[in-house]
Chain A
């Protein structure tokens, strides 16, 4: 009875079934292995937003169109272009592209230009103590209280420029950070072999 039934099945079907069974079992095993590996070797990484945020320069200037670097990091994670941060400049774009496996693109000029680092300076004689700049500063780098002279904590100022517009008496300047003996950097040696004919 059974044999008859067996014979009734065409041989090609048996082969195909066998093949399918083998492949299914094999792929099932592989899948299980991969799944296990994924759990076992799980790398506890920073969430992607944190990683992006770590690359952004934290100037918090808002030139990217976001109120600070973290929101922009969030936006990049959601698919926004990576070329909107002028303070980060080319190097920043490069490392973002590296992290997110994207192409390197030039800086979006609408956002601004990469410039040398600056630091805010309050002309203290002119300051009227209106506290407007304190409210604007994203990193609390200005100290002072109402009707008192204000001043910038140079080491904490990111040079974001945000305190300049609110000042009613225009007493905040943004000079470039001076190179001195401490932040001076060594020149790259010239490759002489590149000298053209």
Chain B
């Protein structure tokens, strides 16, 4: 292991902001114990493909006993996207129902309610498989990761097995790289920081597992300079590593939001921008969050499924802000009572960070894989929304170098074409523009609105194009049938005439019989042709 494997980032991305970090509120307390609730409400689809219809199959029934870590849903092997969810406790399935799941649309989603009971056999032996993973095949490791229900735990909940299922190529001159994302650039959130301080060894183990899966040449650990303790812990654990084939280095980047965004992180580490159609893997890069790597470690080495995660509980209404292991499915109201949050001051909870997160005012909703942070803040006085003064601040901070201000105008007047020309699609909804806007315009909301309208229009166009084709096909089929029928009638009439004429010339009917036979054969051929064309015409 080379001595100075830590270096400072030399590349940077355009723009970015420095919001007040507010991280000390929760990072100063070590990970502490959290008293679980009796009831857990597990949302059956917790990956980012919530809005794509997928066959998630529930494999438990009401009243069934389940043990901790038991899978509640399964996936079709053919469908690549889904990951299962697991029971967070020993208990009984008490309900399977639709419930609000913090989707922006507030449409309910299917959930499974589990009541915790301790009467199930407790003597399960955990089979640690420790270092056996080195001998396992890549596909079996990926399968294991998928079965364990692992999705990206940085907040985006993208199914991890898909990211890992394309091995990084080494033939292209860029070194294949696994980037460990420990940036955690959003204010308030400290769970990755705390996780690193406590479990750096395990995370590095997880990274080694992933690097084996995708077969990469080097691992780059990227962290912001506002987490010195975490950085130290990682350095220690890398030093502890025995002689290793893989090139493991640390890059320390200046604190700047949104350095944890995948595209920005790649830019910081490699200096490359992903072209429009490119995915990280096209540059031979895989980015994984530290919490995800920890989950991979748990799944592969400890053989345990993903049933909970470290969550930052913070905000000025919480009596003991810090990071806690909270099982998925714990309701917010339970957390509220655990942390003595005064209900009368609490109008809403923020899930995730203040910039990319979500505001929730229904406290019966439960945590899921995307909840990495819960902020309980007193409502500050409402800021007023003014007109855009075209100050250009938003453009200066946009990491994608978009023109948020012009996009805003077009979105407001619902002109979608120019918005597409301005590359609305590239917007990562990071909220940096929102943050700096002196007029406090909800820019990201406008962009989301425009994106959803554009999507709607294009789907409408598609269906109308389909309808047009089907209509045209039908029309042409109908006219063809009509023409054919006419032709047949004409021909039949002609045949009849001929037959009657022939009869007179061919008294014993031999000739007619031959002719008829010939005609039959011909007709048959014609008909089969027609049927063929009929089918192709319809398609």
Whether chain B is bound by chain A comes out as yes
Chain A residue at minimum C-beta to C-beta distance from B105: A184
Q: Is A57 part of the binding interface, using a Cβ–Cβ cutoff of 8 Å?
A: yes
Q: Is B52 part of the binding interface, using a Cβ–Cβ cutoff of 8 Å?
A: yes
B490 shortest CB reach to chain A, Å: 25
Inter-chain contacts of B50 with A (CB < 8 A)? 181
- One of B315-323, B446-454, B497-505 contacting the partner: B446-454
- Residues 43-74 of chain A, each 1 if its beta carbon lies under 8 Å from chain B, else 0: 00000000001001111100000001110000
Residues A189 and B442 in contact, CB atoms below 8 Å apart: yes
Q: Is A138 part of the binding interface, using a Cβ–Cβ cutoff of 8 Å?
A: yes
Report the Cα distance A181→B103, complex, angstroms. 9
Residues A58 and B109 in contact, CB atoms below 8 Å apart: no
Q: Is A140 part of the binding interface, using a Cβ–Cβ cutoff of 8 Å?
A: yes
**Which of A140, A141, A185, A189 sits near B446, CB closer than 8 Å?**
A189
Inter-chain contacts of A155 with B (CB < 8 A)? 463
Residues A58 and B467 in contact, CB atoms below 8 Å apart: yes
Residues B452 and A182 in contact, CB atoms below 8 Å apart: no
Residues B470 and A69 in contact, CB atoms below 8 Å apart: no
Inter-chain contacts of B386 with A (CB < 8 A)? 193
Residues B449 and A139 in contact, CB atoms below 8 Å apart: no
With A139-B471, A181-B103 as given contacts, are A58 and B464 in contact (CB-CB < 8 Å)? yes
Q: Is A188 part of the binding interface, using a Cβ–Cβ cutoff of 8 Å?
A: yes
Residues B449 and A188 in contact, CB atoms below 8 Å apart: yes
Q: Is B125 part of the binding interface, using a Cβ–Cβ cutoff of 8 Å?
A: no
Report the Cα distance A59→B466, complex, angstroms. 10
Inter-chain contacts of B463 with A (CB < 8 A)? 58, 155, 158
With A187-B449, A189-B442, A193-B386 as given contacts, are A156 and B52 in contact (CB-CB < 8 Å)? no
Chain B residue at minimum C-beta to C-beta distance from A158: B467
Q: Is A186 part of the binding interface, using a Cβ–Cβ cutoff of 8 Å?
A: yes
- Residues 94-129 of chain B, each 1 if its beta carbon lies under 8 Å from chain A, else 0: 000000000111010100000000000000000000
B261 shortest CB reach to chain A, Å: 21
Report the Cα distance A183→B456, complex, angstroms. 7
Q: Is A180 part of the binding interface, using a Cβ–Cβ cutoff of 8 Å?
A: yes
Q: Is B468 part of the binding interface, using a Cβ–Cβ cutoff of 8 Å?
A: yes
- Residues 236-270 of chain B, each 1 if its beta carbon lies under 8 Å from chain A, else 0: 00000000000000000000000000000000000
B538 shortest CB reach to chain A, Å: 8
Residues A68 and B471 in contact, CB atoms below 8 Å apart: yes
Q: Is B171 part of the binding interface, using a Cβ–Cβ cutoff of 8 Å?
A: no
With A192-B385, A193-B386 as given contacts, are A139 and B467 in contact (CB-CB < 8 Å)? yes
Inter-chain contacts of B468 with A (CB < 8 A)? 53, 58, 69-70
Residues B474 and A138 in contact, CB atoms below 8 Å apart: yes
Inter-chain contacts of B470 with A (CB < 8 A)? 139-141, 156
Report the Cα distance A193→B386, complex, angstroms. 6
Chain B residue at minimum C-beta to C-beta distance from A160: B467
Inter-chain contacts of B472 with A (CB < 8 A)? 70
Report the Cα distance A16→B412, complex, angstroms. 60
With A186-B448, A186-B451 as given contacts, are A138 and B51 in contact (CB-CB < 8 Å)? no
Q: Is B473 part of the binding interface, using a Cβ–Cβ cutoff of 8 Å?
A: yes
With A187-B449, A193-B387 as given contacts, are A140 and B473 in contact (CB-CB < 8 Å)? yes
Report the Cα distance A140→B463, complex, angstroms. 14
Residues A58 and B51 in contact, CB atoms below 8 Å apart: no
Q: Is A191 part of the binding interface, using a Cβ–Cβ cutoff of 8 Å?
A: yes
B316 shortest CB reach to chain A, Å: 26
Report the Cα distance A186→B53, complex, angstroms. 18
Report the Cα distance A191→B408, complex, angstroms. 12
Q: Is B445 part of the binding interface, using a Cβ–Cβ cutoff of 8 Å?
A: yes
Residues A192 and B449 in contact, CB atoms below 8 Å apart: no
Residues A184 and B471 in contact, CB atoms below 8 Å apart: no
Chain A residue at minimum C-beta to C-beta distance from B386: A193
Report the Cα distance A17→B132, complex, angstroms. 104
Chain A residue at minimum C-beta to C-beta distance from B442: A189
Inter-chain contacts of B51 with A (CB < 8 A)? 181-182, 184
Report the Cα distance A155→B466, complex, angstroms. 10
**Which of B53, B453, B471 sits near A182, CB closer than 8 Å?**
B53
Besides A139-B470, A181-B107, A186-B448, 10 other A-B contacts (C-beta < 8 A): A58-B463, A140-B473, A180-B107, A181-B109, A182-B53, A184-B105, A186-B451, A187-B449, A189-B445, A193-B386
Would you give 17 A-B contacts (Cβ < 8 Å), ordered by A? Answer: A58-B467, A58-B468, A139-B470, A139-B474, A140-B473, A140-B538, A156-B470, A158-B463, A179-B107, A181-B107, A182-B52, A184-B105, A184-B107, A186-B445, A186-B451, A186-B453, A189-B445
Residues of B within 8 A of A (CB): 50-53, 103-105, 107, 109, 384-387, 412, 414, 442, 445-446, 448-449, 451-453, 456, 459-460, 463-468, 470-475, 538
